[in-house]
A and B are shown apart, each in its own frame.
Chain A
Amino acid sequence: MPPSIHLLHAPDGFVSVPIAVAMWAVTAVVLAIAVRRTNATLSERAVPLLGVMAAFIFAAQMFNFPVAGGTSGHLLGGVLAAILLGPWAGTLVMASVIAVQGLLFQDGGLVVMGLNIFNMGVIGTLGGYWLYRALAGLFGGEGRGRLPAAAIAAWVSVVAGAVSMSLQIGLTPDMPPLGLVLGAMVGVHVLIGIGEALITVAALAFIGVTRADLFELRDRSPQAA
């Protein structure tokens, strides 16, 4: 099962060590908060759920569809995970996915794993979730505003991840100038983000038609589960 290769997974050697270490520190703090919040709100039932969900995100990244000229759209899944599981649990799931991709499949380096988790798991999932909630409120509640809010949040999450990654590469000495990296990375991810948005929306619509009760999964208290 070859994992699909994403440009957002930086390998080791592209970002200077001080930046990588600093990003690890930031990521560690966020993950610590996420662990505490998840432990407080979810029952022990959540462990198999989140583990299987991490496998789901990993497998869902294999799905792609042809766009044009040999390129294809596929999913990162940060916003989808956050909408279904809640922002903190979603962050843990994305961090696990990135950790396994780095440890097992060399998709993303070890020293730079902190910043990979930050770019995809934290920006995409936490940031994407807050944006989603704000937009959903704007569009008249989660019931009606779910799909448009999810579309915008999914697109922004991918582009913001690319911007963040470009800044980290651009701040590293001996790399191409920031403007060039930013242009290339963001240019590509503006398109990738559209694929992300379309798939996220379609997946949510599908779940809404078949098992709408699962939208309450993330709010379910330990007693009710």
Chain B
Amino acid sequence: MAAIAAIAAISLQPMGAFGPLALMFALLVAASLLARLGPWRLVRGAFVALPFMLIALPLVFTRPGDPLGSISLGPLHLTVSGEGLRAFATIALKSWLSVQVALLLTYTTPFHDLLDALRELRLPRILVSIIGFMYRYLAVIGDEAQRLLRARASRSALAEGAAGGGSIAWRARVTGNMVGSLFLRSYERSERVYDAMIARGFEGTFRHLGLRPITTGEWIAFASVLVALAAWAVATHLWWNPS
């Protein structure tokens, strides 16, 4: 929950609020170090957000403002504006920080704790069960998919530099066949899983051990994080003057 509040607070930051965002980054790094996560892992994980930054890139050129310089790309003549550059940098920073918060959550919390949390948040039971099963069989089905990919790669060995054979429609059909057989293997596995559950006395509902109670200390920590985040968001709007 604190993670979601933090991301919301980041998103609410105004344009060009680099100071507050830098402060948040410093805090996040500190928290990650406290959790004994290597900085390298966090940086690597953050690359997932990169392709999306391309969408914000045109801002650099389209936002009206004082021209800082211009680039000529053949027939295209693009003008870089200070305003646009600032908007782009803000958006890129915001999404990067948000990814960092989410990474902090997933790298510090075991998956079954996350599931318990979802259950406590009153997510419908069937959804929690599906997510739990999905997580459990992700690696199994993923390996199945890897085997199919390896099989395709070995069927289509290619001399160095030679062009690949087949039309696009043919390639798509091969891929579709792989998806189809992966579906059949998954379906049959789910039947075996269900039979195994029945054999172990499954009666239609899942039982699980009681939840670990939330301690007072955790409540206090949660509340103070919320208060700090709210203060952070309000303070930048009041006192940070981006000019």
Could you tell me which A residues sit within 8 Å of B by CB distance?
1, 5, 7, 10-14, 16-17, 20, 31-32, 35, 38-39, 44-45, 47-56, 58-60, 62-68, 73, 75, 80, 84, 92-93, 95-97, 99-100, 102-107, 109-111, 169, 174-177, 180-181, 184-185, 195, 198-207, 210-211, 214, 217
Contact = CB atoms under 8 A, between A and B. Distances in A.
Given A7-B51, A35-B124, A44 B204 contact: yes
B141 A55 contact: yes
Contact of A106 (B49, B129, B164): B49
Contact of A54 (B95, B124, B130): B130
Given A45-B194, A59-B141, A198-B173, A12 B99 contact: yes
B182 A202 contact: no
Given A56-B141, A211-B184, A66 B179 contact: no
B175 A63 contact: yes
Contacts of A177: 62
Given A7-B52, A16-B11, A181-B55, A102 B102 contact: yes
A195 B172 contact: yes
Contact of B179 (A20, A60, A67, A210): A60
Interface in B1-30: 3-4, 7-8, 10-12, 15
Contacts of B164: 66
Nearest to A81: B183
Interface majority SS on A: helix, strand, loop or mixed?
Answer: helix
A62 B99 contact: no
Contact of B58 (A16, A49, A59, A180): A180
A63 B153 CA distance: 12
A63 B197 contact: no
Interface in B167-193: 168-169, 171-184, 186-187, 189-191, 193
Contacts of B97: 13
Chain A to chain B: the 5 pairs with minimum beta-carbon distance, closest first: A202-B176, A51-B133, A206-B180, A12-B98, A198-B172
B interface, size bucket: 35 or more
Given A5-B51, A49-B187, A103-B102, 10 more contacts: A13-B10, A44-B204, A49-B190, A92-B127, A93-B130, A96-B134, A181-B55, A203-B183, A206-B177, A207-B180
Interface in B95-145: 95-99, 102-103, 105-106, 111, 114, 124, 126-127, 129-142, 144-145
B238 to A, nearest CB: 18
Contacts of B98: 11-13, 109-111
B60 to A, nearest CB: 10
B87 interface: yes
B179 A75 contact: yes
A215 to B, nearest CB: 12
12 contacts: A5-B51, A13-B98, A45-B194, A174-B90, A177-B62, A198-B172, A202-B173, A203-B176, A203-B180, A205-B176, A211-B187, A214-B184
